[in-house]
Structure 1
C-alpha cells in the first residue's frame, strides 16, 4: 500500500513538473512576442529613440562598460564626462542596468545592438515577474493577460519612446517581485523564504533605480503601519521591515556613499533647475496642457483611471462594503489611488512636507507605481468576480492595447528623430553633462568645462615635460622629466578617492581654485607617477556591510534548507 502510494505520488510530481515546464515555455514565448512588439521600431530602424534621456543613458552605459574593460569590477568614475574632465556619476547612479549592457556587449560587438537587446530583456523580464507575482492569485490565463498588460502599459512605453529612461525600464522588473514577497510574508506561517526573496528583490530594485526604490519604500511603510493599526499583527510588519533592512544592507556598497557623499557634488541642482522643479511637473495641470509629452500622459492616465473605475465598480457591486472580500478589494485599490493622487497638483502640500519628495523631480514618476498596482488589482479582481471573464479581459485589454499601439506607431512615424550613430557615444558627451554630479571644488563648472581642451596633462609652472603611458578611467600612469621644480595639472576633476603616487610614494594632490582640477608638484629630475581612483574609508566600510549582509542571507538560506530537509525526513 505504501509503495503504491509512493509511486503515485512520484508520478504526480513528475506530471506536475512537466505541466509547469510546458506552462513556462508557453508563457515565455508569449511574453517574448510582446516584448518584441514593444521595441519593434528599434528593430525596424536599427536605432534607439531620440528621447529625453536616451543619449545620457547611452553615454553612461558606454562609460560603465569602458570602466569594466579598464579593470574595475564596479566602476565609479565616468572618465569622459564633462568633456573629459570626469564625473563621480556612478557613485550616485544605480549600476544594475549598466551591468546588463556590459555583459551583453561582451558577446555583441555593436554597442547599439547591446542596448537594444538590454531594452528587450527589460520588457520580457517585467512581464515574466508580473506573471510570477499574480500566478497563484488569478490562475494561468488571467496572469498571462496581466503580464502582457504590464508590458504594454502606456507609461511603460513612454518611458522608452518619450523619456528614454533606460534604468527605469528595469525598475518594472523588480516591483512585482517585491509585492510577491510581501504577499507571501503576509500569508505564510513561517515566512523565511519570502523574507529572503524580499531582501533580494528590494536590494535589486535599489541597485536598479533608486527613485523607484524610495517610492516603493514609502508604500511598504504605509502598508506596515496599516497592518499594525488595523490587524494588530506582529509577524508581517516584523518580517517585512527586516527584509527591507537586509535589502538596504546588501545594497550598502551603493547606498551609503549616495547618502554621505552628496555633500561633495552639486546635488541641489536636481531640485533647483527649471526643468526638474516638481511644482511645474504635476499632471492635469493647466500649464502643461500644450506640451505633447504631457498630452500623452493625460491620455494614458485617463484611460487607466477609466478602466480601473469600471472594474472596481463591478467588483464592489458584487460585494457588501463591510465584507472581507470588499475590504481586500479596497486594500488593493488604495495604493493605486494614492499613487495617482501624488501625481496631481492637489498633493503639493505633501510634496513640501515629506523629506526627499522634491528630489523625485517629477510627480508623474508615481505613474510607474500606479501601473504596478493597476495590474495587481486587476489580478485580484479576476480571481474574485463571477461575471464573464472574457468581457473583463476585453474591457481591460482593448483600450490599453489601442493607446500602446498608437505610441509605438507614432515612434515609427518619427523615426527620423532616432539616433543613427551610436557606436561612439563619446562624440555626444556634450549632451550628457550631469551638473548635479559635478564636484563642489569646481565653483565655476560651466566655464571650466567650456574651456577644457584636449590636453590630458600640462605644465602650469616650471620647466618640465610629461609623457603618459597609460590612461584608464580610474588609473593614469606616466613620467615627468622636470628640469626645474614644476607644477603639473591633470585635466580631471578632483573627488575624494583620487590618490597620487610619485616614484612609488603617496604624495598629496592639490586642487586648482575655481576649476576644481587636480594638480601636483614634482622636484627636479625624472619621476614616475601613478594617479588612481580608490575607495575611501567610507566606501570600503560600505562594501564590508554589503558582504556581511549577503553572507547572513546565504547562511540563513542554508539553515532554512537544512531545517526543512530534517523536518521532512523526520515526518517520514
Structure 2
C-alpha cells in the first residue's frame, strides 16, 4: 500500500464519524461545545485587539474579565482564529477545528507507525485502531474535548519526528520534534503532561544509542522552552485561583470499576458509564493488549507499561495518591487517562501480526472492518444537535466558561453575577468619566475631577493590571471591601487621561523571553542546517 493511497483511505475512513456534523447547520450537542464557542470568540477578540498571545478574556465574567488564557490551552483556539478571521461562523469553525484534529491524528499515526514498523499494513492497522478507539469518539462527539483532541494529533506527529531522527539524525527532524512538542504542551494542560511522559519513555526504550537519546531529550527540553510562555505562568500563578479549592474532591466520584474498562459497550449502556461517560478501552483494543502479552518484545513492554500505569491511576487502587499528590487532581477525572490506553492499545495492535491466524489473508481486512463498525453507534452525537439561531450569545457570553474555579481569582468573591452599570466610575469625590473605550487588554478614558477623586474600574484584578494617569503609573488597590477584587485608584483634581492596561509581569516576561529565544534559535537553525546531521 503506497503512502498516498493509505493516507487517502485513512482520510476517507476518518470522515465516517464526522459526516453527521456536516449534514446540518446545527451545533453537535457535546458537554463542552457551547463553552468552546464562547472561548473561541474571546480568543479571537483578544487577538484582534492586539493581545498576543492572549492571557486575558475581557468580556467574559459580565465584563469584569478573567485570566482565562493564562491557564487554558492555546492550540485549538489559535486554529479556530484562522477560520474566524476568514469570516466563518463559530459553529462551522468548531466543526472544522475538531474535524481537522481528528483527521490529522489518523494521518500522523499512520506516518509514525510506518516509520517505526517499516511495514505499511501494520501502520494502517495501528492508525485504524487509533482512530476508532471508543473513547476517542466519546471525546470527539460526546465530550467535545477541544484541547484533548489536539493532543491526540500532536503525540503521533512528535513520535514521527523522533523516529525519523532515530533513522537519519538530521537537524530538521530535531527541530520539528522540538516544535511539535511545544505545540503538544500548549494543546491541553493535563493530557499533554501524560503524553510528554510517553515521549520520554519512547526515547528511553527505542532510541538506537545514547547520543541519539541525548539529542532527543534535548528536543523535548526545547519544546518545553518553546511553550514556556504558557506553562510557567500557569503553574506559578495557579495559586491565585480557586481551582484547588473547588477541585480538591472532584476525583472521588470518577473512578471507573475495572469491568467498565474491559467490557465492550457498543450501544452506550448507562450501566457501563462513569459519571455519564462511556469509559471502555474497546473490545478489539483489549485483544490487542492481550496479544502484546504474548510477544515479549520492547513494543509489548512499552505498551503494557503505559496501560498498566493508566489502569492503576484510573481505579481506586490509586486513591491514596490522588489524595496526597495535588498535581493529580488537576486531571479532575481519572478516566481521562484512557487517552494513554487509546494510544498504547493502538500501537499494541501490531502484535496481531505475530499470531499465526493473522497469516490468513481474510483476517486482516476483517479485523479492520470490525474495529471500525464496532464504534458505529458513536458516530453521531448521543444528544443530537442544538440549533443556534443567534451566535451573538457566544460573542457576548457573560459567564466564565469554566466549571471548577480554575480561573476565578482569590481576590474576588467568586464569578460576577451581573454587568456593572458602567465600566469605570467615581466612588469618592466629585467628577465624571467620559470617552470610555475598551479593548481586551486596554481601557482608556478621560476623567474630569472637580475634587480629588477615587475611581473603580470594574475589572477583576490579576497581577499585570496597571493604571496610568496622564502617562504616569499610579498605585492601584484591589481589596476594598466595597469593590472586592476590582481596580481602585486615586486621581487628583483636574482633567486627566487614564489608561488601564494588562501587561506582562516579570515572571511572564521571563517566560515569554524563553519562548521567543527558543523560537528564534530553532528557526535560524532550520534555515541554516536543516539538512545536516547532528
* Equivalent residue in structure 1 for 2:150, among 151, 156, 170: 170
- Indicate the SS of the match to 2:229: helix
In structure 2, C-alpha distance between the alignment counterparts of 1:267 and 1:296, rounded to whole Å: 23
* Equivalent residue in structure 1 for 2:311, among 333, 340, 344: 340
Partner deviation per Cα, 1:487-528 (whole Å, 9 max, x = no partner):
111111011111111112222222143520111222222211
8 Å contact from structure 2 (residues 243, 406) kept in 1:
yes
8 Å contact from structure 2 (residues 429, 451) kept in 1:
yes
- Indicate the SS of the match to 1:77: coil
Greater shift after overlay, 432-441 or 142-151? Answer: 142-151
1:130-169 matches, cutoff 5 A? 130-136=109-115, 137=117, 139-169=119-149
In structure 2, C-alpha distance between the alignment counterparts of 1:310 and 1:195, rounded to whole Å: 34
8 Å contact from structure 1 (residues 45, 415) kept in 2:
no
CA displacement at 1:42 relative to structure 2: 2.1
In structure 2, C-alpha distance between the alignment counterparts of 1:357 and 1:512, rounded to whole Å: 32
**TM-score, normalization by structure 1:** 0.82
Instruction: Give the unaligned 5+ runs of structure 2.
Output: 262-268
In structure 2, C-alpha distance between the alignment counterparts of 1:541 and 1:506, rounded to whole Å: 22
* Equivalent residue in structure 1 for 2:287, among 285, 307, 314: 307
2:407 paired with 1:437: yes
**Distance change (3 Å), C-alpha of 1:82 and 1:194:** same
* Equivalent residue in structure 2 for 1:482, among 414, 433, 449: 449
- Show the counterpart of 2:420: 453
- Show the counterpart of 2:236: 260
2:252 paired with 1:279: yes
- Indicate the SS of the match to 1:283: coil
In structure 2, C-alpha distance between the alignment counterparts of 1:508 and 1:475, rounded to whole Å: 17
8 Å contact from structure 1 (residues 205, 212) kept in 2:
no
8 Å contact from structure 1 (residues 155, 297) kept in 2:
no
CA displacement at 1:121 relative to structure 2: 0.8
- Show the counterpart of 1:69: 48
- Show the counterpart of 1:90: 69
8 Å contact from structure 2 (residues 159, 199) kept in 1:
no
Partner deviation per Cα, 1:226-280 (whole Å, 9 max, x = no partner):
689xx9x6335423322221111111111221122222222314532x5xx2222
Greater shift after overlay, 508-517 or 427-436? Answer: 427-436
Greater shift after overlay, 100-109 or 333-342? Answer: 333-342
CA displacement at 1:302 relative to structure 2: 4.6
Partner deviation per Cα, 1:424-476 (whole Å, 9 max, x = no partner):
3045433725522122221x224xx1254342122212221112342111111
2:353 paired with 1:377: no
In structure 1, C-alpha distance between the alignment counterparts of 2:158 and 2:423, rounded to whole Å: 46
- Show the counterpart of 1:394: 366
- Show the counterpart of 1:118: 97
Structure with more of its chain in helix, by fraction: 1
In structure 1, C-alpha distance between the alignment counterparts of 2:239 and 2:400, rounded to whole Å: 25
**Distance change (3 Å), C-alpha of 1:452 and 1:562:** closer
- Show the counterpart of 2:222: 246
In structure 2, C-alpha distance between the alignment counterparts of 1:533 and 1:203, rounded to whole Å: 25
**Distance change (3 Å), C-alpha of 1:381 and 1:304:** closer
- Indicate the SS of the match to 1:170: helix
* Equivalent residue in structure 2 for 1:509, among 455, 458, 476: 476
8 Å contact from structure 2 (residues 426, 432) kept in 1:
yes
8 Å contact from structure 1 (residues 79, 474) kept in 2:
yes
* Equivalent residue in structure 2 for 1:205, among 181, 184, 187: 184
1:156-235 matches, cutoff 5 A? 156-185=136-165, 187-188=166-167, 190=169, 192-222=171-201, 234-235=210-211
**Distance change (3 Å), C-alpha of 1:45 and 1:236:** same
- Show the counterpart of 1:8: none
8 Å contact from structure 2 (residues 461, 486) kept in 1:
yes
In structure 2, C-alpha distance between the alignment counterparts of 1:383 and 1:429, rounded to whole Å: 57
Partner deviation per Cα, 1:348-382 (whole Å, 9 max, x = no partner):
34444656222211111111121112222224644
8 Å contact from structure 1 (residues 167, 209) kept in 2:
yes
8 Å contact from structure 1 (residues 175, 372) kept in 2:
no
Q: Would you say how many aligned residue pairs link Structure 1 and Structure 2?
A: 522
- Show the counterpart of 2:429: 462
8 Å contact from structure 1 (residues 95, 207) kept in 2:
yes
In structure 2, C-alpha distance between the alignment counterparts of 1:380 and 1:198, rounded to whole Å: 27
**Distance change (3 Å), C-alpha of 1:491 and 1:292:** farther
CA displacement at 1:215 relative to structure 2: 0.8
2:24 paired with 1:45: yes
Instruction: Give the unaligned 5+ runs of structure 1.
Output: 1-18, 568-572
Give the structure with higher Rg (CA): 1
- Indicate the SS of the match to 1:76: coil
